[in-house]
Chain A
Amino acid sequence: MKGYLAVMRGSIMVGVVYRFGFIFSIIGNVIYLGVAYYLWKSIYRHADVIRGLTFNETFLYVALGSAIFILLKTYMDWIMNYEIREGSIATYLIKPIDFGLYMLFTSFGSVLMNLAAITIPTLLMLLFVFKVDFTLGPGLLIFPLSLFMAFLISFYFDYFVGLLCFYSESVWGISTVKDIVVTVFSGALIPLQFFPDAMQRILLWLPFQAVYHTPLMMVTRPDQGWEVFLPMLLVQLFWTVALFIATRMFYNQAIKVLRVSGG
């Protein structure tokens, strides 16, 4: 366990080395928030409530969605793609550690770095620049837990795509498709409430919404109670465990076809 924590610590330190990148992430985020603010403002010009959501709730949902998006973006699929193509995956496999957990802790290290450098500044900006109302509700208590599971699910998407490189050796197309599917079907771009009812019912059972919609509901709908949150948490938990097991089985298959060429 201490080994994995050391790996995580290393990953945070690598993040610090490239601190310049964060400034651009924050600038990009400010622009995105500004655009989202005026876009939703104009959508709400003729109605106070759309699909049961007020402007404040929708904007909070979208803005926090972008904060979580940046928080969870650790590029593990791209990193694995590079390591597998280039052959440096061999340097992981010679160490007495589990490859999946190694990647998980590396990813978690970058998430912590993202949290401090991007997510927290974004939240402060929401409070003091865009002046959104945060209402404290019971959901806020389980938000950290839900967000952690969201991280695990998001990581396992990346990890799954990364493992595909053992077969395809190039992941560009798959990775792009994954990003689009996750962004649209998870509620990261548009709140799930805005989808047609039938589609919503399907989406709520899929793992994508567990990354954004579930934790976002915890903070944007403080009026809801446990009877709404608990089933959502259970769906999240189900997908966390299912993806953990599925990627583990996939790894055991994929590692058999590994080729490390050169050197």
Chain B
Amino acid sequence: MEYTLRLGDNALILGQRLAEWCGHGPILEQDIALSNIALDHLGQARMLMNYAAKQKEDGSTEDDIAFKRDIFDYHNLLLVERENGDWGKTVMRQFLFDTYNYFFYTQLLKSKDAKLRDIAHKAIKEITYHAQWSAEWVIRLGDGTEESHQRVQDSLNDLWEYTGEMFTMDAVDEKMVAEGIGVDLNPIKDLWYEKVAEILDMATLQQPEDGWMQSGGKQGEHSEYLGYVLAEMQHLPRMYPEASW
């Protein structure tokens, strides 16, 4: 269940972050594109949280999991809770995560857990599109104007220290890999570095040196940002628990 929750938390928090753009996109077409992607992530989060809720076997629902847990119970990667920043930063965060997510879910298709396999089957089509979309944008911003180049390069430099956590295996990962359910992150790391290098090269961007990497999200140690994300997301169901429409 912990494993399913981690995947669900990544999808939910990133979906919520992207949803913040709704109505604020730089142009109508991109506003719709990001809202679509946000909804894809929320859809994936629902499938995963629904599954996690069933695994809990205590009558919990997907809503309980999304709205009634606090910061330390959220086990998403730190990368997905980073602030949206400008358009370039949102696109860069999306690209770094989508590329990882694409290789991850491609492997999850082979999971021994039938339900996770089904979810991966549905999600991979969406994720493939996300990865194409964000890579196209990184190329255009990086190889765009002087200003767009500088801005996405700065975003890349800022976000790089949050990429290491994606490939760090902890006890939960090891156990799931051993059982044939989870994904081995070591080969994913190689694939990710190769793809990211290729796109950054096309985008004329400089790949930052691997230095010290942030970690802790998977274990519930978060940056201050997650508190604000959850406050906005959970405010209504916590204030008015019986609210419905």
A binds B: no
Chain A positions near chain B (C-beta within 8 angstroms) = none
